[in-house]
Amino acid sequence: MIKVQNINFSYQKSDKIIDDLSFDVPKNSIFGFLGANGSGKTTAIRLLLNLCKPNSGEILIQNKKIALNYIELYKKIGTLIEDPTYYGHLSGRDNLKLLAKFYEVDKHRIDEVLDLVGLLYAKDKTANKYSLGMKQRLGIASSILHNPDILILDEPLNGLDPKGIAQIRELFFKFQEEKKTVFISSHQLNEIENTCSDVCIIDKGHQLFTGKIKELKSQLTSGESYKITCNKVDQVKLILSTKFKIKSLINSDSELTFSLEEKENVPLLVKELVNADIQIFEIVKIESNLEDLYLTLTK
């Protein structure tokens, strides 16, 4: 659906913002685009939309070069880049009316998209009285007004409360069911993990990883991690170190966190601890989340 091939970009020759960046966005996916502030995410999105020209490399959307076909492709793309701006003296509905004329969209679509983003109740309120979250909802409504095949959204969840985030998440799932492709740049790693199956992580304009989150986990973690709470931490530590192949071991007064190469050793470990008269209060498997993986990859 979207193919970025070895793009480079700099505002000055000595200041490379995008460094040989390549990634593919699968068709009908919800794709997360991650990176720290200053990593080049917004610049990369501007390049995707032909708002900036790469110094080298090319970008294809629906197998067409965006640089040569941007007028045609814009009709199929909905966008939200950074903070959305509106005519403050106009209502949310009237702001969308202007866009509807531009896109030649039926006016009935306006109330439909306002309802989809949970803003129908405030359609007649002037935009300068909207909260940050309401403005963000209006921005998303603007991006989907012309029923595009592809959504490219830069920080679409900014300013939304938990209820609003959940509502927009469900909207993204609805788009996916309708065979649309959603590209999301966000700092909210937990929400990306809940929403996206595929991610691209960049740092200083260079790609560190592209693929499915489960592939990232298998790439960065070795073995299974567990936490045990017991009454004899030092003795458990000794048993783990001498009788089992462990990858890491961290302990406090009453807890041990460790990684085993083979999960089949867990029952054997429990048996050893029981035989050693150690009281086990809890043993749980620790799942690495996207934030853990991201911090590991970018450290």
Instruction: Indicate if the pLDDT at residue 287 is higher than 90.
Output: no
pLDDT digits (tens, 9 = 90+) for 42-66: 999 999 999 999 999 999 999 999 9
- Residues 274-299: what's their mean pLDDT? 83
Sorted by where each starts, the structural domains of the chain and their CATH numbers stand as 2-218 (3.40.50.300), 221-298 (3.30.70.940)
- b/e for 271-297, b at 16 or more Cβ within 10 A? ebbeeeebeeeeeeeeeeebebbbeee
Give residue 54's pLDDT: 93
Give residue 56's pLDDT: 94
Q: What percent of the chain has pLDDT over 70?
A: 97
Return d(Cα 149, Cα 140) in angstroms, integer: 14
Give residue 14's pLDDT: 67
Count of CB atoms within 10 A of residue 199's CB? 25
- Residues 82-90: what's their mean pLDDT? 86
Give residue 188's pLDDT: 83
Instruction: Evaluate whether 258 touches 212 at the Cβ level (below 8 Å).
Output: no
Instruction: Indicate if the pLDDT at residue 214 is higher than 90.
Output: no
Token look-up 């999301």 returns 184
pLDDT digits (tens, 9 = 90+) for 234-265: 898 888 888 887 766 777 777 888 877 777 88
Could you write out the DSSP letters of every residue in the chain? -EEEEEEEEEEETTEEEEEEEEEEE-TT-EEEEE--TTSSHHHHHHHHTTSS--SEEEEEETTEEHHHHHHHHHTTEEEE-SS----TTSBHHHHHHHHHHHHT--THHHHHHHHHTT-GGGTTSBGGG--HHHHHHHHHHHHHTT--SEEEEESTTTT--HHHHHHHHHHHHHHHHTT-EEEEE-S-HHHHHHH-SEEEEEETTEEEEEEEHHHHHHHH--SEEEEEEES-HHHHHHHHHHHS-EEEEEE-SSEEEEEES-TTHHHHHHHHHHHTT--EEEEEEEPP-HHHHHHHHH-
Instruction: Evaluate whether 8 touches 55 at the Cβ level (below 8 Å).
Output: yes
Give residue 213's pLDDT: 85
The rounded mean pLDDT for the chain is 89
- Residues 114-124: what's their mean pLDDT? 95
More confident residue, 121 or 256: 121
- Residues 125-150: what's their mean pLDDT? 94
Return d(Cα 115, Cα 163) in angstroms, integer: 15
Give residue 135's pLDDT: 92
Give residue 111's pLDDT: 95
Give residue 109's pLDDT: 95
Count of CB atoms within 10 A of residue 111's CB? 14
Count of CB atoms within 10 A of residue 117's CB? 22
- Residues 136-153: what's their mean pLDDT? 95
- Residues 177-199: what's their mean pLDDT? 91
Instruction: Indicate if the pLDDT at residue 218 is higher than 90.
Output: no
